[in-house]
């Protein structure tokens, strides 16, 4: 099954996620990725402020707020 690069948001937190950061248009690194970013060639599009589960929660909350926003059409462009 082929996954469209532009329709998936990939979230990762470690160096082994580097290939996925490079493949998907929309990628998020949980803050603990900061420790290894200097060694990575394929970086995430965004990095959270929080580490671990709190960083993942940060991504989910952002997505939920954006979807619920009355300006959702503007945000997604």
Q: What is the mean pLDDT of each run of 10 residues along the chain (77 residues)?
A: 80 93 94 87 94 96 83 48
Q: Which long-range contacts (CB under 8 A, 24 or more apart) does 10-17 make?
A: 11/56, 11/59, 12/44, 13/51, 13/52, 13/55, 13/56, 15/39, 15/40, 17/44
Q: Return the pLDDT at 50.
A: 96
Per-domain residue ranges of the chain: 9-70
Q: Return the pLDDT at 77.
A: 35
Q: What DSSP element (H or E) covers 29?
A: strand 26-29
Q: Return the pLDDT at 29.
A: 95
Q: Return the pLDDT at 76.
A: 41
């Amino acid at each position: 099954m082929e996954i469209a690069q532009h329709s998936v948001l990939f979230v990762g937190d470690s160096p082994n996620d580097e290939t996925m950061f490079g493949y998907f248009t929309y990628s998020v690194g949980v803050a603990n990725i900061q420790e290894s970013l200097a060694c990575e060639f394929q970086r995430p599009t965004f990095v959270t402020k929080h580490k671990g589960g709190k960083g993942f929660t940060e991504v989910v909350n952002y997505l939920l707020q954006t979807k619920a926003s009355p300006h959702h059409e503007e945000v997604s462009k």
